[in-house]
Structure 1
Amino acid sequence: MVFKRMLRAFGVGGPTVDTVLSNASTRPGLTLAGQVDITGGDHEVEIDQITVALVTRVEMETDDEEYDGTVEFHRVPVCGELRLAAGQQLSLPFEIDVPWETPVTDMYGQRLPGMTMGLRTKIWVRGAIDPGDLDDVHVYPLPVQERILEAFAALGLPFTGADLEHGQLAGLPQTMPFYQEIEYASAPQYPGVSQVELTFVADPHGVTVVLEFDKKAGLFTPGHDAYGHYRVEHTAAESIDWIALVDSWLRQSLEQRHALLGGYGGGHGGHHGGHEDGGSGMGGVLAGAAGGALAGFAAGMVAEEVFDVIGGDDEEDEPEEEESEE
């Protein structure tokens, strides 16, 4: 939804601003392009700079409580100093790179419950900052991420939600101050596991997959968390039997149970793009998985309290540009 807003920093009679995105849908590693349209008010004003930034909602913990905070994680300038005459109209184009670690917010045209993402326009004037405009953004998964999400659905793990956690994952080349957790309940073929949390850390070459398993407490064993991390290259998206691979990741966690009870805390050996298990016949299976994942996301959908000024949940076109693979 595109809307026009009078800049509060200038008061009544000041300029108005529209931020118009060419396509509000994107993927990690791609871009968002658009323009900031400004129309002068009834008097001349001076602007120091205009910026656009990606913002999202992150769960943060303090000593006393846990709360959701809005975090700006990537900002670029649109223009520097300019003088806007009364009634003058300017259209300022911009392009913002979407960081590789940007969390996934949408799949199959639907928002993942718990996820929010927006592009905030700020107008910097002498002695004041006006937030300007805030537009909804849709981040779709990379091909490798999408195949893994489809495999979780095909294996029967029910999707339960997603959120962003403030902090760093130990031992990984993470650049963001937060990470995404996509949460699933377990399935009958994985006894002893009550919950699986999936995290992606992407870069230009591939995706590191982090799995956290919440182990059920037994009569003679305490409950605990276990971790595994794996590496898959972008070029492997169409060449791997993803259902078999994800199943092997989950089963490895069960095989390591006794070691984990002794304080296991490291990752398993990495899986790379050279995984030899072929993908014959996977097209139909993954198509079914896609439907299953969509049903899972829809079933988990609840009313979300998102940014007050983000528009409605109008369905957006998926990004048209294909990712470049190195």
Structure 2
Amino acid sequence: MVFRRLLGSMGVGGPQVDTVLAGGAVVPGGTLSGQVCLLGGESAERIEHIGLELLARVEAEHDDGESEGAVVFERFTVGGGFVLGPHEERAVPFSVPVPWETPVTELYGQPLGIVLGVRTELAVAGARDKGDLDPLVVRPLPVQEAVLEALGQLGCGFRSADLEYGHIGGTGQTLPFYQEIELTPAPQYAHAVSEFELTFIASPAGCQVVVEADRRGGLFSSGHDELSRVSLGHADAHTLDWNAEVDGWLRRLTDRPAHQPSLGHQAAPYACAPPVHHDPYGHGAHGHQDPYGHQGHHVDHGHHVGHGHHGHHDPYDRHDGHGSHGSYDSYDPYDKDDDHRSGPGVGTAIAAGAAGLAVGFVGGMVADEIVDEIGDFFDGDDD
């Protein structure tokens, strides 16, 4: 066990902390478990507060170009209110809900280049210090995996994935950022589209899939973006013909007559809200819907979407304190008796694309190096 000494405001000789996460990846809407291991310093200290922060590396577009920074998208209080004796060892177990909109960091065990972390904060005698930092690994929900697998089987290639600051209008998105997965089109779509961009907005009731197609320009038309939005239930992962379903989405976008140029500005489909100084402590009730309830997998066919600015609202409209389990559905989406999609054995192009991404986009990093990147990036953040 490797303890990290809390220096800074607590001084040398203070308590040390090591947060140990339960093995394996988590899923959106699932549970993150582990324990915070404490080792007392030279003297007894009152541990007032033990907190966990979920962080993400997020890109933001603005007038001067692009920038990136760390966003804390959830906080939890997992312990505190006790005295830690000199050199005393104590473990504080925790089990906290993972937000449904948490981005996916790996596909079939291959990293996608998304940087998420779990940071531990300790408050001792009125001083706070951010101590241990661990990578957060998130695998897709079954319905998300089914969509990605179908895209691979249809011949689309994996290009990159990142987190964009902003909101997608009309989705009910609650986090201040969304994940964008960029795909190269398969040959049957490439005549009309240069790229597909895919976003998942998950919830207890299901998952919305937003597909943006970068349409090519023609002799009498300009290039433009078109969107399609589909609402899926969690149970759809095991019932739909996914190749046919996803092919239908893409063909509705690519087979539509090209948009004729106009004098009006073609606005960006994603409303990018300015930074908000919200307090993400506490959870609002996400409802207790049946997580396997069908939403009729409603399809909102692709259309030109203008600016949908959401104003300066607090994206964390929550109201019940420090994160009770009751506000989240705690079902295990993989706890199914029937057969489900289970990884590399399916041999899809998306899996191969993800493997290529781990070598290309992530720069050939292995797991330990990705952990180092997480530490290097978040250690400089003082939020």
TM-score (norm 1): 0.84
| Mean Cα deviation higher: 54-63 or 169-178 | 54-63
Paired residues of 1:35 and 1:92 also in contact (CA < 8 A)? yes
Structure 1: stretches of 5+ with no match in the other structure: 276-281, 312-326
- How far apart, CA to CA, are the structure 1 residues paired with 2:207 and 2:234? 7
Paired position in structure 1 for 2:231: 231
Match for residue 296 of structure 2 among 257, 263, 272: 272
Residue 315 of structure 1: aligned partner: none
Once the two structures are superposed, what CA deviation does each residue of 1:156-190 show, in whole Å capped at 9, x if it has no partner? 11100100000010111111100000110112101
Is the 1:168–1:177 Cα contact (8 Å) retained in structure 2?
Answer: yes
| 1:292 to 1:144, Cα distance in 2 relative to 1, 3 A | same
Distance 1:147-1:98 versus aligned 2 partners, 3 A rule: same
Matches of 2:161 and 2:296 in 1, distance apart?
26
Q: Which moved more, 1:124-133 or 1:32-41?
A: 124-133
Secondary structure at the counterpart of residue 172 of structure 2: coil
User: Offset at 1:203?
Assistant: 0.5
Q: Give the structure 2 partner of residue 182 of structure 1.
A: 181
Give the equivalent residue in structure 2 for 1:86: 86
- Displacement of 1:155 after TM fit? 0.8
Determine helix, strand or coil for the equivalent of 1:256: coil
Aligned residue in 2 for 1:50 = 50
Q: 1:121: which partner in 2? A: 120
Question: Contact 2:134 / 2:371 at 8 angstroms: preserved in 1?
Answer: no
For 1:111 and 1:226, how far apart are their aligned partners in 2?
29
For residues 251 and 203 of structure 2, the distance between their equivalents in structure 1, rounded to whole angstroms, comes to 27
- How far 1:103 moved relative to its partner? 0.6
Tell whether the 8 Å contact from 1:236 to 1:274 is kept in structure 2 after alignment.
Answer: no
> Contact 2:39–2:87 (CA<8 Å) still a contact in 1?
yes
- The answer to whether the Cα contact below 8 Å between 1:226 and 1:264 also exists between their aligned partners in 2 is no
Offset, 1:306: 5.3
Q: CA deviation at 1:209?
A: 0.4
Flag the 1:287–1:106 CA change in 2: closer, same or farther, 3 A: closer
The separation in 1 between residues aligned to 2:352 and 2:40, in whole angstroms, is: 48
Q: Is the 8 A contact 1:150 1:290 kept in 2?
A: no
1:110 partnered with 2:107: no
Check 1:292–1:258 CA distance in 2 against 1; reply closer, same or farther (3 A cut): closer
For the residues of structure 1 that align with 2:140 and 2:221, how far apart are their CA atoms?
Answer: 38
Matches for 1:131-142 after TM superposition, within 5 Å: 131-142=130-141
Task: Report the equivalent of 2:357.
Answer: 300
Deviation at 1:24, TM superposition (A): 4.3
Q: Which residue of 1 aligns with 2:31?
A: 31
* CA distance in 2: counterparts of 1:70 and 1:306, whole angstroms: 16
Tell me if structure 1 keeps the 8 A contact 2:45–2:125. no
Match of 1:4 in 2: 3
Instruction: For 1:78, give the aligned amino acid.
Output: V
Q: CA 1:261/1:124 → structure 2, altered by over 3 Å: closer, same or farther?
A: farther
Deviations 1:1-30 (A, max 9, x none): x63100013221111111011224110111
The aligned counterpart of 1:320 is: none
Cα deviation, 1:231-285, whole Å, max 9, x if unaligned, reads 110011111010111000000012333468677999xxx983599xxxxxx999x
Instruction: Decide whether the 8 Å contact of 1:206 with 1:231 is kept in 2.
Output: yes
Other-structure match for 1:278: none
Displacement of 1:126 in angstroms is 4.4
Q: For 2:257 and 2:200, how far apart are their aligned partners in 1?
A: 23
Q: 199-208 vs 300-309, which deviates more?
A: 300-309
Task: Judge conservation of contact 1:181–1:199 (CA < 8 Å) in 2.
Answer: yes
Question: Equivalents in 1 of 2:127, 2:340: separation in Å?
Answer: 55
1:70 and 1:239 map into 2 onto residues whose CA distance is: 38
- Residue 147 of structure 1: SS of its match in structure 2? helix
Indicate whether 1:173 and 2:230 are aligned. Answer: no
**Structure 2 Cα separation of the partners of residues 18 and 158 of structure 1:** 39
Structure 1 CA distance for aligned equivalents of residues 32 and 194 of structure 2: 38
Q: Which amino acid aligns with 1:152?
A: L
- Deviations 1:183-236, CA, capped at 9 Å, x for gaps: 101121012100000000011111100001111122221111111100110011
CA distance in 2, matches of 1:95, 1:161: 32
1:180 and 1:257, CA in 2 relative to 1: closer, same or farther beyond 3 A? farther
Percent identical across equivalent pairs? 45
> 1:119 offset after TM fit, Å?
1.0
Distance 2:340 2:133 in 1: 39
Range moving further from structure 2, 150-159 or 77-86? 77-86
Number of aligned residue pairs: 300
Asked if the contact 1:58/1:70 (under 8 Å) is kept, the reply is yes
